[in-house]
Amino acid sequence: MIMDLQENMRAANQRTFEWVTSMHQSILDATKSYVASFAKSAPEPQTWTGPQGASVPDLKQLIEDSYDFQARMLEENKNFSLALADAWAAAAPSKNADQQPEQ
């Protein structure tokens, strides 16, 4: 029963991941096509005459920094969840004999 649940969850996760990846690719392809078309037909941008502030941050670096932080948070949340599972397993060893808490 537990293996069926785990296998079903893994299969559902894999299908979801494949769907998200496919949607990302479709959106990326459409965006590239739109940007290429827009770049060809857009008039020259006017020069900005407003106040000059700090330099514009590098968009790719902002994305990298954001995802690095999110990856660290995801790993921390995973470790926290596993520690909670270990704590609960230790509290009910008869029901979770095959799940030994880490020492």
- The HSE-up count of residue 50 (CA atoms within 13 Å, CB side) is 4
Instruction: Quote the pTM value.
Output: 0.58
Higher pLDDT, 27 or 103: 27
Is the distance from CB of 102 to CB of 84 less than 8 angstroms? no
* Mean pLDDT (whole number) for 87-91: 88
* Pair of tokens at residue 19: 């769907």
Beta strands in the chain, from DSSP E residues, in sequence order: none
Own/partner pairs, 86-93, CB within 8 angstroms, 24+ separation:
none
| pLDDT tens profile 19-56 | 999 999 999 999 999 988 887 887 877 777 766 777 77
Average pLDDT value for the chain: 86
